[in-house]
Structure 1
């Protein structure tokens, strides 16, 4: 599979020898299903994390599932737009991009419930723990790392809400840049490439920094949070609305049943979330407004 951005795939799971009789209408046209993900993790860990979910969906729906990770956030949107994948798990700002280029041809249907019971998360500004920076004011004239132009917590929300707080990134920092991923932002701050950065924070026990500590990628306690954004709605599960109704119905039912029918697969795929809640386009209207304002400002500068 190819798009304008490379996608990395899970190995194709073996096709079951006997397909379920129910729903053979869509199975006759779809010998496999394809899921795209935009992940904060490195390629190896992001792909491996989805393997139990892929196996669950194969058992549940009776056809193989291939999971693709784009090399950047916009790659998943391009794959959806060009009908190269049927489903995706993407960030809220990435959904805003998908809706802008696809309109009603893409729709959200679910979002995770965090371990703290919230259906939202935060963007945080972090610094290296042994630096003197304690506030956004302390970062005047310092360097700042964003994650990706289509990341909600890694760019859209911090750039918008820092401006509203009187700290326009274009003038407050000596320089800004895109690290390429949330993990790379943390690493860049810890190695001194940037003085501060933005990443996502779900709860005191879940988030990018905590996960990197658990994996041994960074020392525990090596960062300090100095700013937290307003709440962001959790990342949506989305699908192409042109898919057969029976396929959409079966996929949604299988996803919503995942936390109870295969809690281990859900725990791995969703990084210890508590459950899954329904999602609607209206849940992301504020994110869409933030993304549109950011884009308008960037166009004015170009």
Structure 2
């Protein structure tokens, strides 16, 4: 993993001169840019992955860029509402929550396109590779872990689509818990604390389990996919509508230039599986919004 010093040295060596939006004068009013990161992620991993990108953006934008860490996914929405965060990568369900809370104040900007040209990922249910379970039906009476109540792949999509298949997780499993994050779920699964967990996977080569195996945190091949959701649109990098347009434009230009201008930062931040960024539109997430709204309506009906 590149160090902060090596990334900055590489940026200096490449003589970065920001090719940014013409006539940008936002630096007169914006002296620092804050990139929101949820601590629902593994903290050390999130910092190691994101810090080189933050250092690159500081160089590229010409103002300091720093982390703003929040307690969970919903915390990103609250931080954006309070104008404490300028940019963040929102999971689709978190984006849906953000639109419910902030309306048009929350704007999607760009999203990942992977090395196969896919603009999305999947929710998967993982079991231990040696377990006897071959279907969700086999897991009746077992213990399941979701990641976070505002996670798309770690809660909303599996909860919604399992019900569509006639399986209510609250009835089917003997217990359902929230682990606090995707890494937590998979690590606990391998340790035998849960029988099945909901997490995400882009393809057979890239996902939470594959990343943890590459880092030596779990044995390679120690998990197995039991169920896969429909495609989830890639998580949008989002911003506040009340920021200067020049800053938003410059952020998009900088992110699109990172692969060529700062390849070490790009590799660190994307794990090497992203080929480019594509524009993200609110309309891309209407299906996810519909899923989260139905789940919220079901929750209110049960509690009422």
**After TM superposition, is the score higher than 0.5?**
yes
1:161–1:39 CA distance, 2 compared to 1 (3 A): farther
SS in 1 for 2:25: helix
SS in 2 for 1:274: strand
Cα contact 2:40–2:180 (8 A) shared by 1: no
2:277 paired with 1:276: yes
Q: Which residue of 2 aligns with 1:4?
A: none
Q: What are the within-5 Å matches in structure 2 for residues 285-296 of structure 1? A: 285-296=286-297
Q: What are the within-5 Å matches in structure 2 for residues 126-275 of structure 1? A: 126-272=126-272, 273-275=274-276
Q: What are the within-5 Å matches in structure 2 for residues 26-45 of structure 1? A: 26-38=26-38, 41-45=41-45
CA distance in 2, matches of 1:241, 1:291: 23
CA distance in 2, matches of 1:267, 1:41: 19
Cα contact 1:105–1:242 (8 A) shared by 2: yes
CA distance in 1, matches of 2:231, 2:100: 22
CA distance in 2, matches of 1:31, 1:194: 46
Q: CA deviation at 1:257?
A: 2.0
TM-score under structure 2 length normalisation: 0.90
Cα contact 2:39–2:71 (8 A) shared by 1: no
Q: CA deviation at 1:24?
A: 6.1
CA distance in 2, matches of 1:94, 1:26: 28
The answer to which structure, 1 or 2, has the higher relative contact order (CA under 8 A, 6+ apart) is 2
CA distance in 2, matches of 1:115, 1:73: 27
CA distance in 2, matches of 1:88, 1:79: 10
Cα contact 1:109–1:237 (8 A) shared by 2: yes
CA distance in 1, matches of 2:129, 2:24: 56
CA distance in 2, matches of 1:222, 1:192: 11
Q: Unaligned stretches of 5+ in structure 2?
A: 9-16
CA distance in 2, matches of 1:69, 1:123: 25
Q: Give the structure with the larger helix fraction.
A: 2
Q: What are the within-5 Å matches in structure 2 for residues 5-24 of structure 1? A: none
Cα contact 2:127–2:224 (8 A) shared by 1: yes
CA distance in 2, matches of 1:274, 1:187: 28
CA distance in 2, matches of 1:261, 1:281: 29
Q: Which residue of 2 aligns with 1:5?
A: none
CA distance in 2, matches of 1:24, 1:144: 50
Cα contact 2:144–2:195 (8 A) shared by 1: yes
Q: CA deviation at 1:23?
A: 5.0
CA distance in 2, matches of 1:174, 1:71: 28
1:180–1:127 CA distance, 2 compared to 1 (3 A): same
Q: Unaligned stretches of 5+ in structure 1?
A: 1-9, 14-18
Q: Which residue of 2 aligns with 1:118?
A: 118
The size of the alignment, in residue pairs, is: 287
Q: Which residue of 2 aligns with 1:60?
A: 60
Q: Which residue of 2 aligns with 1:99?
A: 99
Q: CA deviation at 1:131?
A: 1.1
SS in 2 for 1:294: helix
Deviations 1:175-217 (A, max 9, x none): 1010000011112222222110110001111110000001111
SS in 2 for 1:47: helix
CA distance in 1, matches of 2:31, 2:253: 19
